[in-house]
Amino acid sequence: MAYQLHYWPGIQGRGEFVRLALETAGAPYVDVARGDPKAGGGLPAMRRYLEDEDVKRPPFACPFLVDGRRVVAQTAAILLYLGPRLGLVPAGEADRLWVHQIQLTLADLVDEAHDTHHPVGSSLYYEDQKPEALRRAQEFRRERLPKFLGWCEAILQRNAGNARRELPRLVGARLTYADLSLFQVVDGLLYAFPKATRRALRKTPMVAALHAGLPRKNKRLAAYLASERRIPFSEQGIFRRYPELDS
């Protein structure tokens, strides 16, 4: 049976990390909230899981995955669940935990990228927190973004065999969901902070090689990125291009 992914229909957001795993693995799935409410899709289907009292283990928020009777929320937990099922993790416990640890660290980077445009609160508009956003974005560009990408570069350098590989891997020799997530984070950062991110990528050549090379080497990923299923980046998502926040 196809996996059901539940996420906001108009943005990539955190759901995109799950979409990339499902798409690249060629797994059958339904992006429920983007479907027709008359056919059981749309936001009502998503809300049911969040609000109905008969859902025994309700998600706190989307994205969440429904696999038969299982409901799994939290992006990193969804990928922990899907990893072995989609062939996107190595075999051993230690390696799988390391992939998960990388994912959680990338999730922290995603949170911080989001907070550049919403430092004071998610319920307020960007326009109502612009001076604070300018301060927070400056710290993000100068300190946090280079530190996170520098850590990714270090672990790419220390993963044996990457020096010989055209396309580096974060863990072991085969593609993992962490590679896909790093691709997505860099893609989002290049959209939101093109100047600061290109500057950081010049110092992190393996991260840059992974981002550029992954869609070239992976046909399913490339096909997905070129399809209508890939929602464009926008100023409603996590990664937003406000030119005043970049430099």
Does residue number 123 form part of the binding site for a second copy (CB under 8 A)? yes
Binding of a second copy by 231 (CB under 8 A):
no
List the one residue out of 134, 145, 241, 147 whose CA is nearest residue 196. 145
SS3 per-residue string spanning 42-53: HHHHHHHHHHCC
Q: Which of 136, 169, 211, 240 binds a second copy (CB under 8 A)?
A: 136
139 binds a second copy (CB under 8 A): yes
Structure-block tokens of residue 123? 């319920």
Q: Nearest distance from residue 163's CB to a second copy, in Å?
A: 14
Residues within window 146-165 making contact with a second copy, judged by CB under 8 A: 148, 151, 154-155, 158
Nearer to a second copy, 97 or 163 (CB): 97
- Tokens found for residue 134: 């300018």
Rounded-to-10 torsion of CA 53, 82, 184, 240: 0
CA angle 69, 37, 122 (to 5 degrees): 80
Is residue 114 involved in binding a second copy (CB under 8 A)? no
Interface with a second copy (CB under 8 A), residue from 15, 41, 63, 119: 119
Helix/strand/coil for 64: strand
Interface with a second copy includes 126 (CB under 8 A)?
no
Q: Using CB atoms within 10 Å of the CB of residue 101, give its burial: 0 to 12 exposed, 13 to 18 middle, 19+ buried.
A: middle
Out of 2, 47, 85, 124, point to the residue binding a second copy (CB under 8 A).
Answer: 124
Please, are residues 58 and 71 in contact by the beta-carbon 8 Å criterion? yes
Q: Answer yes or no: are the C-beta atoms of 203 and 232 closer than 8 Å.
A: no
Shortest Å distance, C-beta 225 to a second copy: 27
Cα(32)–Cα(30) distance, integer angstroms: 5
- Note whether 203 binds a second copy by CB under 8 A: no
Question: How many of the chain's residues bind a second copy (CB under 8 A)?
Answer: 40
121 binds a second copy (CB under 8 A): yes
Query: Residue 132 interacts with a second copy (CB under 8 A)?
Result: yes
**70 counts as binding a second copy under rule CB under 8 A:** yes
Cα gap 46→147, rounded to integer Å: 36
Let me know: does 205 contact 152? Beta carbons within 8 Å. no
Which positions lie near a second copy, rule CB under 8 A?
53, 56-58, 60, 70, 72-74, 76-77, 80-81, 94, 97-98, 100-101, 104-105, 108, 111, 115, 119-124, 129, 132, 135-136, 139, 143, 148, 151, 154-155, 158
